[in-house]
Chain A
Amino acid sequence: MSRITIPIGPQHPALKEPLSFLLTVEGERIVESALRIGYVHRGLERIFQNRSYVQNVHVVERICGICSHAHTTTYCQGVEALLGLHIPPRALYLRTLLCELERIHSHLLWLGVLAEHVGFTTIFMYAWRDREIVLDIMEKLSGGRVAHAVNVIGGVRIDVDQEQVRLILARLDELERQIESFLGVIQHERTFRARTRAVGYLSIEQVRSHCVVGPVARASGVDIDLRRDAPYAAYGQLDFRVITAEEGDVWARTMVRALETIESVCMCRQLLAGLPDGPLAVRAPRRVPPSEAVSRCEAPRGELIYYIRSDGSDRPARVKVRTPTLTTLATLPDQLRGVNTADVPTVLSGVDLCIACADR
């Protein structure tokens, strides 16, 4: 059978962000694929060097739309470590609360996109309708649905009162009910399973050798989660499970993310219940003494790492960002080999790509 080359991207209905694949297809199976990224590279690491630490908080937030809070958390954590600041516990709790809400938001959005790509429009509509609950909560807390601007170097800039806590808890209950119903569909609906089982398989060996992180790694049996293994912010005070699966396919990743979402709802409840009193931020000096720091955070897609070096001025000498999507991108050619062309959007959605993060 003759081979044809199908281009996927940079613009394609299956892609949310620009990414280019050249798929070599024989019949309905993919034989080889070539990946090209960099369509939204904005040179941010160079930009960081030309802006002050405070200005960089705003730049960092705009690396990505959907994990913006994870980026600012990691960055602010790093700068606070350089300055040797002790962040007040209330600020850490609020920071963690936004982290978990953002994780719920990211996973719900992703679930809708995956459902749409397997033709299950109904779940797409339901997931995005319930995503509005999370967005409303985040808007109530920070004033912004997607870009929150909550973190400052030294703490957070928002606060919650008892009334808001009560409202948020009520909406979290509503959200949990909806997510449980999705879980039922994912586990039992036969056509969904038919489209996602044994698709995009990654073995635990492939995951470890490519240094994959996040739900993709956990779905292949690798038990890593920075929130438990290297607790930051308020995670040391929380009680939660790390969800792993053994199957390593798109279905396993769906299960992992869906169960993680429920864990996140429980964590939000714990945070709101145990919110300590106190100030929201400490003053941070503008100039940072010469030092270096490595800061890590568990973003919705996995381990996010920042390396920051200061040289005594009010601008960083170097800010290095490695986002979790970069690790999963490297596995895509492996995942796509031998896959049916109809499953390409499923595989691409299954890894939850955030190209803006990967390109920076």
Chain B
Amino acid sequence: MGDFSSALFALLIFPGFGFLCACALAFQWIDRWVTARLQGRIGPPWFQPLADFVKLMAKEDVLPIGAHEQACAALPMVSLAAVLTAALYVPVGGLATSAFEGDLIVVLFLLSIPALAYFLAGWLSVSVFSVVGGSRALLQYFAYEVPFLMAFAGPAMLSGSWSISRIATQQSQAVGMVLVQPVGFLLAFVGLIGKLKRSPFDIPKAKSEIGAGPLTEFSGRKLALWHLSLHIKTVVGIFLLVDVFLSGSFTGLAVPTALAFGVKVLFTLLALSVAGVLYARLRIDQLASLGWKVLAPLALAQMLAVIWIGAG
């Protein structure tokens, strides 16, 4: 009974659904506030993300004629389910709901599902803007996913384990992965920007060109769930990066693990916000070119370096 209730607590409250939603809202606020301040604006009040969510849940939910009703209703839930499941295996401050050897690969796979659901959403909602946005999302996926995956192979090979929790704790005995594989960290960071479709890789939802891209025809509750799944994906992605590259909650100093983890997470979030502010949006062909001509070769070189160093 005790096991069951503690498992329920972990799934629903901490570090599960409740905690992730709270983090999603909090991270969104921090991101919007920092972006606003960097752009010379004031930024939203702290409750803005919550207010946006509540407002969207209450709005009318319509789809165009010809759009696949059931599929469009299911896709945001599939996306949300995938990121929540991925979150189970990503340790927060040293605590993971579950862990097993190979969970890194499962997590990376689960985090790709929302991208495919995003493309399908565009395809199935029929309007021109959605279809074009969906095809761009898929092209973008191929551009960043390969370097992103390869970047994670390095830490796994170096620490001799494919479990995120093990990789995180390994770094407490050795040294943070970011110091050993800075290129890998950079690639994972850039790949995360593409995965989260943040500026400068927010091509599928380029406002000035194709409305809101694949989600143009979504409204009300469906859109609220899409946004929630994207923001929880942001949270999970940042946690993953901190665990795998920035040695999780370990600092070698006498600080509480929660604080150490929190500071690293905040640092990564701020880095994402700053990166979003500094550049113009790339075109899809420029991104594809960047992905395959620069990022993928770098990732390959990084992996080979790890293998060579590991062998020697």
Give Cα A117–Cα B280 distance, bound, in whole angstroms: 9
| A340 CB within 8 Å of chain B | yes
| B113 CB within 8 Å of chain A | no
Give Cα A121–Cα B132 distance, bound, in whole angstroms: 22
Give Cα A342–Cα B206 distance, bound, in whole angstroms: 9
| B128 CB within 8 Å of chain A | yes
Interface residues of A in 87-142 (CB under 8 A from B): 115-122, 125-126, 129
Interface residues of B in 263-296 (CB under 8 A from A): 277-286
| B200 CB within 8 Å of chain A | yes
| A189 CB within 8 Å of chain B | yes
* Chain B residues within 8 Å of chain A by Cβ, number: 25
- Tell me the number of A-to-B contacts counted with CB atoms below 8 Å: 71
- Nearest CB of chain B from residue A282's CB, rounded to whole Å: 45
Give Cα A155–Cα B200 distance, bound, in whole angstroms: 50
> Considering only CB atoms, which chain B residue lies closest to A129 in the complex?
B40
Query: A119 and B286: CB pair below 8 A?
Result: no
> Considering only CB atoms, which chain B residue lies closest to A27 in the complex?
B135
**Chain A 23-67, CB within 8 Å of chain B: the 1/0 string?**
000001000000000000000000000000000000000000000
Give Cα A170–Cα B283 distance, bound, in whole angstroms: 41
Give Cα A345–Cα B286 distance, bound, in whole angstroms: 17
Query: B39 and A126: CB pair below 8 A?
Result: yes
The one of B202, B206, B211, B280 in contact with A191, judged by C-beta atoms closer than 8 angstroms, is: B280
> Considering only CB atoms, which chain B residue lies closest to A15 in the complex?
B208
| B75 CB within 8 Å of chain A | no
| A211 CB within 8 Å of chain B | no
- Nearest CB of chain B from residue A200's CB, rounded to whole Å: 14
Interface residues of A in 310-360 (CB under 8 A from B): 340-345
Q: Which secondary structure dominates where chain A touches chain B?
A: helix
Give Cα A119–Cα B205 distance, bound, in whole angstroms: 11
> Considering only CB atoms, which chain B residue lies closest to A4 in the complex?
B128
| A6 CB within 8 Å of chain B | yes
Query: B199 and A119: CB pair below 8 A?
Result: yes
The one of B38, B199, B280 in contact with A195, judged by C-beta atoms closer than 8 angstroms, is: B280
**Chain B 203-223, CB within 8 Å of chain A: the 1/0 string?**
100111101000000000000
Query: B200 and A191: CB pair below 8 A?
Result: yes
| A192 CB within 8 Å of chain B | yes
Instruction: Using CB atoms and an 8 Å cutoff, list the residues of chain A in contact with chain B.
Output: 4, 6-7, 13-14, 28, 115-122, 125-126, 129, 189, 191-192, 194-195, 340-345
Known: A14-B209, A191-B200, A342-B209. 19 other contacts (CB 8 A): A4-B128, A6-B132, A13-B208, A13-B209, A13-B211, A117-B208, A119-B206, A120-B279, A120-B281, A121-B39, A122-B39, A191-B280, A191-B281, A195-B281, A340-B285, A341-B132, A342-B283, A345-B208, A345-B209
